[in-house]
Amino acid sequence: MNNKIYLIVALVGMLFMSACNDDKFIAGSPVIGLNTEQADAYFGDSLAFVIKASDVDVPLSTLKAQLYYGEEKVSETVIRTKTSGQDYAGKIFVPFLPEIANGKATLRYILQNINFTTSEKEVEVTLTRPDFPYLTLVTADGEYKMERTDTYQYSATEKFPLEVKGYIKTPKMGDNGNELTFGWNSGEIQQGVTSDITFTSATSGKYSISFNTYSYEASPFVKLLLNGSEMEVVDNENYRLDLTLTQGQTLTFDGVPGYDDWWIDRDYFKKNDDGTLKFLPISGSYRVIANTKYKYFIVQSLKDGALATLQNDGTGAIWIIGEGLGKPSVAAKEVGWTTGNGLCMSQFESKKYQVTLVAGSTVKADKINFKFFYQQDWGGEFDGASLTSSSDLVGVGDGSTHDNGNLYLHDGKKLTVGHIYKFVVDVTGGIDKATLTVTDEGEQPIEIKNITFGGVKMSSDDGAIYTATLSLSQNQAIAVSGINDLGDWWINPDYFKVEDGGSLSFIPVSGDYRVVANTVIKSFSIVRMNGSEEATLSDDGHGAIWLMGWGVGSPSLDNQFGWTPGAAYCMPEVAPKIYRFTAVAGPEQGSSLGQRIRFDYVSCKFFFQDDWGGEFSGDNALTLAAGAADYITNTGNIELASGVQLEQDATYVMTVDLTAGNSKGVISFVKQ
């Protein structure tokens, strides 16, 4: 019996050794054949190459072309190699970086087979920084030629306004050259983006805008000074300075473009006859932000260099987050439930905090829904137990008929348009026994302009937001009067086509629409109507689809839709049962008009109405069209696919097609 066992073991061992010999590992030997004589190149070129890739023993995997400036890898191209002995053609971009002089670079080719065996070949490339014959400054008003004035130095001299927004592009240089762009990103000028650079001059009129393609230095940028100290550039629209201020102190701003037209926050400043500002809150540490987009100064209380929070003894700061108010106006920037927009109340006396609002301008006259927080974020907050109101206009929700702690207007009450209202939160009795008073400080007259849209006069309560409801036909030509700077407005490409001469034609299907003209942001928003009510999606696929969520907004990401019913975006029915949303990818903060989708994060959903209720989920879930999965996924919410980021400043079109029925909708996502 034992002999039989030994014999079986021996036979198994022999079979195992035979199998190992049959599966002997073969490393392979990839061979790189360079079929292109490597030419010298310009920085910014796309360098072409042809490689014959072969391995007679093992199938190939990839060919990598890597470019090194010194020891740093600055560019890479990867090509899949399936067939041995075949020529593979590709291009590798030669980055155009600041302050890199002419010199040598190393182009390294790496060929790898499926067993991870590699071979390498290096080629030295001589790189030259192109000295372009000219550059072009691209603005919303047109293009300006920037003449070469010296090596790498360019300038355009024209009659410019105080502020010019635009990006710079180059002509192509050489057979493999690319058009390069220079725009603003992360607080500096960078190559490869088209976000506007904001050039500012102390005076309007004839002056020069210049740019150096070697150093990326540009001008003019007026230095903003507060009491002689230079304010730090935060982004393309904001400058800030942290400093200690004394109640009653005089503040002097220098270099602020169009300073006389800036909106002055009456909670923090009183403007003196000589243009200086008197500081009104109690003495302390503050951050002053100059916002050049909306032309106003933001003030925030600090503690040890960080944003202040409310302390148990009532000192510190109180913040406002919510709907129905905004500075310098609701039209310009409603606070909403985006915590980063939270307003810091002015502490005019110890433990007494105020915000002063004008009905119809900085606060809505007919609806408010905001609350007071201990910090500019979620966390500690005042509720109906810790804050009581003595006002016959404004109440504090107790969680029964109104959200706990949220301010609301009493039934049948409205704020009087044009009147100034002062909201004061007093915590001298303790932060758990705070009181709210609301007083009418009198009238501030508002100018209402005569604006017509499609022949219909638009109405306005605040002189900033104008509204009209009218019937519009697909492809209808639309005349707009009373807006003299319509060429500066952002025009929604899903609703309107800008014709030669600047006139508008209407894109969506015929129907009734409410058109809102925001003269501060300079954009139109449009909602499809069903009589006097906002349209909803009908069972036959017509009507309106409403978009809510984060990472999407309009007319820019400064106005994200969030999950707030009533703040959803009405997608136009651009063809029967087909709805569209066109957006430029941009950052969450400091986005430009038209940048309506975040490049790095999206979580949104399509609804049948501007509210909770019917939505595209469950049995009505949208199916991804071919190619959409390269960008997005549908997990209940529409989100970016795993590991995917959109290309900043690129345009993407998201379409919902219901032609097969509401329960068989298809969503496409295409890069233009």
DSSP character string of 465-515: EEEEEEEE-TT-EE-EES-TTGGGSB--TTTEEEPTTS-EEE-SPSEEEEE
CA 377, 304, 276, 352 torsion-angle sign: positive
Q: Which residues contact 101 (CB under 8 A, 6 or more apart)?
A: 129
Instruction: Say what the pLDDT of residue 619 is.
Output: 84
Q: Among candidates 458, 564, 448, 455, which has minimal Cα distance to 516?
A: 458
Residue 605's CB is within 10 A of a number of other CB atoms, namely 19
pTM of the model: 0.65
Q: Among candidates 233, 232, 223, 210, which has minimal Cα distance to 160?
A: 210
- pLDDT reading at 540 higher than 80: yes
In which element (H, E) is residue 298 found? strand 296-303
Q: Is the distance from CB of 154 to CB of 210 less than 8 angstroms?
A: yes
Q: What are the CA-CA distances from residue 286 to residues 196, 251, 302, 320 (Å)?
A: 29, 13, 5, 17
Tokens, residue 77: 């191209």
For 452-466, b where at least 16 C-beta lie within 10 A, e where not — what string? ebbeeebebbbbbbb
Instruction: Say what the pLDDT of residue 38 is.
Output: 65
Helix-strand-coil split of the chain, %, nearest 5: 5, 45, 45
User: What string of H, E and C letters represents the secondary structure of 303-361?
Assistant: ECCEECCCCCCCCCCCEEEEEEEECCCHHHHEEECCHHHCEECEEEECCEEEEEEEECC
AA letter at 520: V
Tokens, residue 4: 């039989």
CA 251 vs. chain centroid, Å, equals: 32
Name the percent of the chain lying above pLDDT 90: 74
Q: Is the distance from CB of 295 to CB of 162 less than 8 angstroms?
A: no
Report the alpha-carbon distance of residue 352 to residue 3 in Å, rounded. Answer: 100
Question: Chain-wide mean pLDDT for the chain?
Answer: 91
In which element (H, E) is residue 96 found? none
CA 247 vs. chain centroid, Å, equals: 36
- pLDDT reading at 228 higher than 80: yes
Q: pLDDT-based confidence at 146, cuts 50/70/90?
A: very high
How confident is the model over 271-317, as pLDDT tens digits?
999 999 999 999 999 999 999 888 999 999 999 999 999 999 999 99
How confident is the model over 377-411, as pLDDT tens digits?
999 999 999 999 999 999 999 999 999 999 999 99
HSE-up of 315 (CA within 13 Å, CB side)? 8
Q: Is the distance from CB of 142 to CB of 59 less than 8 angstroms?
A: no
User: What string of H, E and C letters represents the secondary structure of 198-251?
Assistant: EEECCCCEEEEEEEECCCCCEECCCCCEECCEECEECCCCEEEEEEEECCCCEE
Instruction: Say what the pLDDT of residue 432 is.
Output: 97
- Across the range 431-438, mean pLDDT stands at 98
Tokens, residue 105: 């670079």
Tokens, residue 541: 């696929």
Rounded-to-10 torsion of CA 271, 277, 278, 284: 140
CA 523 vs. chain centroid, Å, equals: 16
- pLDDT reading at 205 higher than 90: no
How confident is the model over 565-611, as pLDDT tens digits?
888 999 999 999 999 999 999 988 778 889 999 999 999 999 999 99
- pLDDT reading at 4 higher than 70: no
Rounded to 5°, the CA angle 420-389-461 comes to 30
SS3 85: coil
Q: Among candidates 114, 117, 115, 48, which has minimal Cα distance to 82?
A: 114
Q: What are the CA-CA distances from residue 287 to residues 156, 338, 585 (Å)?
A: 36, 20, 30
AA letter at 668: S
Q: How many helices (H) and strands (E) does the chain have?
A: 2, 61
Q: pLDDT-based confidence at 2, cuts 50/70/90?
A: very low
Residues in the chain: 672
Instruction: Say what the pLDDT of residue 23 is.
Output: 59
User: Mean pLDDT lowest for which of 34-38, 336-340, 372-376, 503-507?
Assistant: 34-38
Report the alpha-carbon distance of residue 2 to residue 504 in Å, rounded. Answer: 97
Instruction: Say what the pLDDT of residue 39 is.
Output: 67
How confident is the model over 157-202, as pLDDT tens digits?
998 887 898 999 999 988 778 899 999 987 789 999 998 998 988 6
Q: What are the CA-CA distances from residue 273 to residues 5, 257, 496 (Å)?
A: 110, 19, 45
- Across the range 521-550, mean pLDDT stands at 95
Domains of the chain (ranges, CATH numbers): 31-128 (2.60.40.2550), 134-219 (no CATH), 230-443 (2.60.40.3620), 447-534 (2.60.40), 536-672 (2.60.40.3620)
Instruction: Say what the pLDDT of residue 185 is.
Output: 86
- pLDDT reading at 64 higher than 60: yes
In which element (H, E) is residue 203 found? none
